[in-house]
Amino acid sequence: MGEIISKVLNAEGFTINPYVTQLEVNQYRDTKVRWLQDQGNEPQITPVYFQTEAIERFIKTTACEWKQLFEKEGLYGRPVENC
């Protein structure tokens, strides 16, 4: 679990001013980290349907699609790279 929390804490969060502020991004991240750290939320089962590789591929693909959409609409502040 420590690896997941570390990834969440080190992930770059994006604002969409004025709709989503940096404070809101940080608060959401902190809420998710607290939830992950709560042992009461641990299902105690081995994942069968979700594989790490497929999840990471989905995240990268979806993030790229969002970045391209935001850039097209002028909401993403820098050029989309590595998509």
The pTM (predicted TM-score) of the whole model is: 0.56
Give which of 1, 60, 55 is closest to 33, Cα–Cα: 1
> 75 falls in which pLDDT band (50, 70, 90)?
confident
Q: Per-residue DSSP letters for 7-24? A: HHHHSPP--BTTTB-HHH
pLDDT in tens, 32-73: 999 989 999 988 888 788 888 999 999 999 988 988 888 888
On the question of pLDDT at 4 being above 90, the answer is no
Q: What is the dihedral of CA 15, 24, 20, 55, to 10 degrees?
A: 60
